[in-house]
Structure 1
């Protein structure tokens, strides 16, 4: 197949898009065209895909990105078998595009990969005025139902099914579990991996690091929202924590090796209640004990597999105490690491699910071809 993968929101090195889905498509012999904000993110396309640059959609003004995406979809869509969309914004580019494809007599299978609870996520965007959030949430729900009638859906979580009338395949957001046994967790370094924002606990992370210093060094790996960058920069400058900024997936995961704990300090937000934090599974996969707030799916993993500790929301003192407990109790630390890795290998490995993702796209293309032939 030829697959056009499109995002105007995500980093071109996004783990789910590039390192899981595109990598697996290439492993199965398919050709990938990847449209993403390469220049805006100072990224370079990988040599085994055709990179197509798009503007980045950020903040309130997303019109330039959507116009460019609409033009690209109209021009390149008829060349491919599948168009795989990764942002809800891109649904706005589809109505006229679908008509152009039909007139051209070459309409690809169009798939929306649903990464999050879009309407709940809108309520967390600081650039969305509070008065507009309720009508926007209602509009998003309407758009999702319309999308369900015109495109295929892949869901990143089982819980997202309740937002739609039909039943749709789930492609969980799982990491690739390394086959080499990881280094055992050491006693002096805790790591946070992922995007940094207030709702994701960035300010709690800084305070936790302050409470742990100097015995335990906290390292944060990921890009940050504008309203927490100054605090992170100041904490890094003062030696409270080490903020690495955005790192490629390979470099970010390498920093997990030998960590005492992996931190996930999400706040209690609707968008997080139905989503399993990928960072938690990545910590497990790399043999790192987990310290997490009681986000339901994260807490279930940690408690069921006994691979870490659960702490209250917005409580840096409790998070610091949990890290210290792992530091002083070697049996708990090493046992949590081993149990988490075993669970990730058995239940949470993209290597075991990636073929299902490719098979689903292949079946949809075949069904579409059979329908046209009839």
Structure 2
């Protein structure tokens, strides 16, 4: 009888994947609930095919009309335990994880609960670890090696999706790529410039925050810079001091839900992407550049191979030598100031960006149909 009960339980776990009313769980212990790739490009699309439960750290997403949201409160250990509980609920048919630290949970869910799992790898994790300044240098290489091992373990039992092809060589097999292109429906209508230079994304020194302040400070008034995204309090203090020293009107609103951030982009003088030349950024495409262009706004971006390959020849784009990591060097500040000054002085650059807007939206659109097919196939072929 005991064996029969265990068999029935295992069968019910596997059977959940085929029930049309069972839930797809989209899970992250790290990302904000309004992260564009998760909330607007995954949850919103998958919800068209059935119930979706979305579990992240607080605060809640701006809208919850198409899904059920669950909070993962507390510090990382507590959030991780809460993630286990969510992944192992009886009504969950498929689990979609979006953080490298959730790969052990993904494997446990696949092998112990017999549920299909999708591991969405957003970036080159080993390369990212190698650039984490807060990690002690002796730990970076072993942790990067461990991360590479976890990625290879994930592909043995889970469905793996990538945000870019540039780190596909981290895996033994080919995996579907869901490029981090914007959803055209999420992009705003064109609007007149309000004179602000705008950056959207995590606000960090290695992403060029201090360089942007210094470069805008070299311009003639008005000197307006808006940095939209999460920013550590100590860096925010430094940026405000830099802005005061350079007589820059600086707006640091922190994290802003994606639709509201895009509305501010639409009126920008130009969208900025001043990423430093480090391995994790060198080969990747900053999604923000496509969002700026899709809003009809000129772009000033670091001339990195991944950026140049995709947007270098598009109308309204100006590439500038990428800065090195660390405090902004005078020659980098000068180069970026000259680029910003040129964009401001040329009314034709906005017209060119606006002319290319529809082509950018059509060519670089989030692959919703491909994503829905991957999730449907995972439930039918991996739910055993």
TM exceeding 0.5: yes
2:80 corresponds to: 66
Counterpart check, 1:346 vs 2:355: no
TM-score, normalization: structure 1?
0.87
Q: 2:288 aligns with which of 279, 284, 292?
A: 279
How far 1:226 moved relative to its partner?
4.4
User: C-alpha offsets along residues 323-362 of structure 1, whole Å, 9 cap, x if unaligned?
Assistant: 21111111233213422x1331231122xx1121011111
Q: Flag the 1:35–1:181 CA change in 2: closer, same or farther, 3 A.
A: closer
Write out the 4+ residue segments of structure 1 that deviate beyond 6 Å after TM superposition: none
Q: Which has the higher contact order (CA 8 A, sep 6+)?
A: 2
The 1-side partners of 2:171 and 2:108 are apart by 23
Whether the aligned pair in 2 keeps the contact of 1:203 and 1:228 (CA below 8 Å) is no
Q: Does 1:253 align with 2:262?
A: yes
**What's the counterpart of residue 136 of structure 1?**
143
Extract unaligned runs of 5+ from structure 1. Answer: 102-106
Label 1:336 to 1:95 Cα distance change in 2 as closer, same or farther (>3 A): closer
Task: Give the drift of 1:156.
Answer: 0.5
Alpha carbons of 1:129 and 1:344: their partners in 2 closer, same or farther (altered >3 Å)? same
1:167 is matched with 174
Q: Normalising by structure 2, what TM-score? A: 0.85
Matched, 1:53 2:74: no
Give 1:336's aligned residue: 353
Structure 1 residue aligned with 2:38: 17
Specify the SS of the correspondent of 1:159: helix
The 5-angstrom pairing of residues 1-374 of structure 1 reads 2-26=23-47, 28-38=48-58, 41=59, 46-55=64-73, 62-74=76-88, 76=89, 78-101=90-113, 107-178=114-185, 182-183=189-190, 186=193, 188-212=195-219, 214-234=221-241, 239-314=248-323, 315-339=332-356, 341-350=357-366, 353-368=367-382, 372=384
CA deviation profile, 1:136-183 (whole Å, cap 9, x unmatched): 111111111111112110110011211101011111111122599833
Q: Which residue of 2 aligns with 1:104?
A: none
State whether residues 109 and 115 of structure 2, in contact with CA within 8 Å, keep that contact through their aligned partners in structure 1.
no
Q: Deviation at 1:55?
A: 3.3
The total of aligned residue pairs comes to: 353
Tell me by how many angstroms 1:16 deviates.
0.6
Distance 2:349 2:261 in 1: 25
**1:177/1:344 contact within 8 Å kept:** no
* Contact 2:224 2:248 (C-alpha < 8 Å) held by counterparts: no
